[in-house]
Amino acid sequence: EAGVVQSPRYKIIEKKQPVAFWCNPISGHNTLYWYLQNLGQGPELLIRYENEEAVDDSQLPKDRFSAERLKGVDSTLKIQPAELGDSAVYLCASSLGGRAHEQYFGPGTRLTVT
């Protein structure tokens, strides 16, 4: 069974530029999560989707961050414009409905903003 797929794996951009991350969850997983992981820290939830609906986006900085999950499968996380402090690893995870405690993570996208 394929795991959670994320792309790109690495991204280097200049500040004020836009950037987008893509996630393909495990087949059949209707819950999808985006996390932010700073160096030496644990993941912090940005947004959670149940199918195509964002059910928890309270920690998403909506002035510059946006996300979408069309058709309840793949998801895209966007930052526009990026700031130096956005440099981090962006992780995507997914889980089965009713088993939200068991989340499966992708390898992440490491973003460097210069």
Partner 1 sequence: QQQVKQSPQSLIVQKGGISIINCAYENTAFDYFPWYQQFPGKGPALLIAIRPDVSEKKEGRFTISFNKSAKQFSLHIMDSQPGDSATYFCAASSGSGAGSYQLTFGKGTKLSVIP
Binding letters toward partner 1, positions 15-54, x by CB under 8 A: ----------------x--------xxxxxx--x------
Amino acid symbol at 11: K
Of residues 86 through 105, those in contact with partner 1 by CB under 8 A are: 91, 93, 100-105
3-state SS record for 16-57 = CCCEEEEEECCCCCCEEEEEEECCCCCCEEEEEEECCEEEEC
Least separation in angstroms between residue 72's CB and partner 1 is 17
CB atoms within 10 A of CB 25: 27
Residues near partner 1 (CB under 8 A), total: 21
CA angle, 27 as apex, 72 and 91 as ends, to 5°?
A: 75
Least separation in angstroms between residue 73's CB and partner 1 is 19
Q: Which residues bind partner 1 (CB under 8 A)?
A: 4, 31, 40-45, 48, 56, 91, 93, 100-108
